[in-house]
Amino acid sequence: MCGIVGYVGFRPAANVIVEGLQKLEYRGYDSFGVATNNPCLEVYKCEGKISEKGERALNLHGTIGIGHTRWATHGVPSDRNAHPHLDCTGRIAVVHNGIIENYAALTRELAARGHVFRSETDTEVVAHLIEEYYDGSDLRDAVEKAIARLDGSYALLVTVEGSDVVVAARDCSPLVLGIGDQEVFAASDVTPLLGYTERVVYLEDGDLAEIDRTGWRIYSRGTPVQRPIEHVDWDVETVKKGGFPHFMLKEIFEQPKVFYDTLHGITEASLPERYRRPSEITVVACGSSYHAGLVFKYLCESTCRIPVRAELGSEFKYFTPPLKGIVTVITQSGETADTLAALKKAKAYNCPTLAITNVLGSTVTRIADHTLYMRAGPEISVAATKSFIAQLAVLMGLVDLMKGGNPFGAALERANSVIEEVLLLDIDKAVEICRPAEHLFYVGRGLFYPIALEGALKMKEISYIHAEGYAAGELKHGPFALLSTETPVVALCPPGDTYSIMLSNIKEMKARNAPIIGIGARGDRELTDIVDVFLPIPESHELVQLVATSVVLQQLAYRTAVALGRDVDQPRNLAKSVTVE
């Protein structure tokens, strides 16, 4: 949610920043802006996508600068509301990710003192506050005083005309420094740094960093502190499309390897003893990560007989359930505000906490007592695909460790080859059914119920078709009223305990004239005969079928969205990393 990039060095800053913001565009894409310091401040900002209009900022001069790609919170997407925001003199430039909760009171105070505001954003007030405190020489001191007045969350980059310094500050929004030779970068996450440096410094909440060509100095609430330099091993190629038309498709095709690597990354040594036999587990997550948490609930309860509660991050902070045992948070980005708030609350209740994330050094890894990593590599497309599959791999590995004796280990070894097979499945007829639909249902039972929820989420977020995931048995408690020839149903019907009852449910839906896309085991004649389109999954262990079914549903959403001409990687109104509550 909003990407920021700063640069101090010897290269043309605008080039570095525009290129970096393009890699961060998945965080927000309604407008963008860049300011360089040459030593006069030069600013370009406009509504629209940096991938389409970014070139316009390239003629800004100078080797120091800051930039921003926006996901609007306060004020519509427009040139005026795009960052950077300037003070009254036009000499101080600020970019911001987060929300300044007390901006209205501060704006009133500063307006009464004669400051003139030009935007509807919460961010502009920061530029005016810094102006109040800036004595013409010490930018760090002015930013320190300004942030002491802020409530809310922020990652800020600030520069002032004529100075060779960029000041960076964070509280509850991510910010990382990239350390080069005679150059320092700052960014919301490491993707803009790939290709320039592998050495990074993660800022902590409350940190302020002063960066110039000679290096960086970090202060925590005024006191100098040291933060370690860490190494990032993500490959720069992973943030390129590599011949695929969309990042989403590329990421879908990376899944055989991602599942394999992640599964093999979870070993006996991954999980300390205290997490192995908890009395209870509470899983907290949002969106797709929450669906992975629901899969874990079904799997862990049935395999380990440990009670698992799955909670939405956005609910947990305000309606905290009674907590016993361990609290596990699942988050691809490691930065989702609701999930972090839940984690902090769990810590306040003294629960041992476990994080599952994809991003080394992300905020969640700094707060949780212990972290398990997915090995998905950077996920650029807004829709979660390979990270969801990687979450399933971690969670299945976790259940294996908690149960002991590796009950799924051998079966899961086949998953990557089964994923490879289903990637080649012909789904044209299913796409033909979905494409004209205004409403879709996705239904499943047991372990496949969360997969139905996930399939529907994927379809709605990228194709904009209204899709609802349901437990198959629940449809007759109301939604049956919606079934007609115009309301296709995607039915997940794998072999196993729920197979016969699913078949009956599908027949009931068919009797209400709903076109059915059935997904089940290859060679299932009975299912093939009753559905309109059958999508076969190679015969395999139930958990492998579950992973493979998820991949088929991702492809169905992707292909339908492409057929409808949607912006698959950057669907309207969304941003990848939801860093505000």
Binding residues for ligand F6R, rule: CB under 6 A, are: 286-289, 331-333, 336, 339, 383-384, 457, 461, 577-578
Q: Which of 71, 60, 75, 77 is nearest to 96 (CA)?
A: 71
Per-position b or e across 231-270, b if 16+ CB within 10 A of its CB: ebebeeebbeeeeeebbbbbbbbbbbbbbbbbbebbeeeb
User: Minimum distance between the CB of residue 542 and ligand F6R, rounded to whole angstroms?
Assistant: 24
Spatial contact of 442 and 281, defined as CB atoms under 8 Å apart: no
Rg (CA), the chain: 25
3-state secondary structure of 316: helix
Catalytic residue among 2, 286, 351, 493: 2
Lateral strand order in the sheet of 516-521: 466-471, 439-444, 489-493, 516-521, 533-537
Nearer to ligand F6R, 57 or 396 (CB): 396
Query: Active site includes 576?
Result: yes
Nearer to ligand F6R, 143 or 456 (CB): 456
Nearer to ligand F6R, 336 or 416 (CB): 336
Secondary structure of 13-46 in HEC code, one letter for each residue: HHHHHHHHHHHCHHHCCCEEEEEEECCCEEEEEE
Nearer to ligand F6R, 281 or 284 (CB): 284
Q: Number of H helices and number of E strands within the chain?
A: 19, 25
User: Minimum distance between the CB of residue 467 and ligand F6R, rounded to whole angstroms?
Assistant: 12
Nearer to ligand F6R, 17 or 451 (CB): 451
Query: Active site includes 145?
Result: no
User: Minimum distance between the CB of residue 248 and ligand F6R, rounded to whole angstroms?
Assistant: 10
Nearer to ligand F6R, 306 or 459 (CB): 459
Give the separation between CA 368 and CA 356, rounded to whole angstroms: 9
User: Minimum distance between the CB of residue 578 and ligand F6R, rounded to whole angstroms?
Assistant: 5
Cα dihedral 274/277/278/283 (nearest 10): 100
In sequence order, the 6+-apart residues with CB closer than 8 A to the CB of 493 are 499, 502, 503, 506, 518, 519, 520, 524, 527
The separation between the first and the last C-alpha atoms of the chain, rounded to the nearest angstrom, is 11
User: Minimum distance between the CB of residue 506 and ligand F6R, rounded to whole angstroms?
Assistant: 27
Instruction: Find out whether the peptide bond into 84 is cis, omega within 30 degrees of 0.
Output: yes
Burial of 332 (0-12, 13-18, 19+ CB in 10 A): buried
Catalytic residue among 23, 386, 458, 576: 576
User: Minimum distance between the CB of residue 332 and ligand F6R, rounded to whole angstroms?
Assistant: 3
Give the nearest residue (CB) to ligand F6R: 287
Nearer to ligand F6R, 139 or 355 (CB): 355
User: Minimum distance between the CB of residue 134 and ligand F6R, rounded to whole angstroms?
Assistant: 36
Residues recognised as catalytic? 2, 576
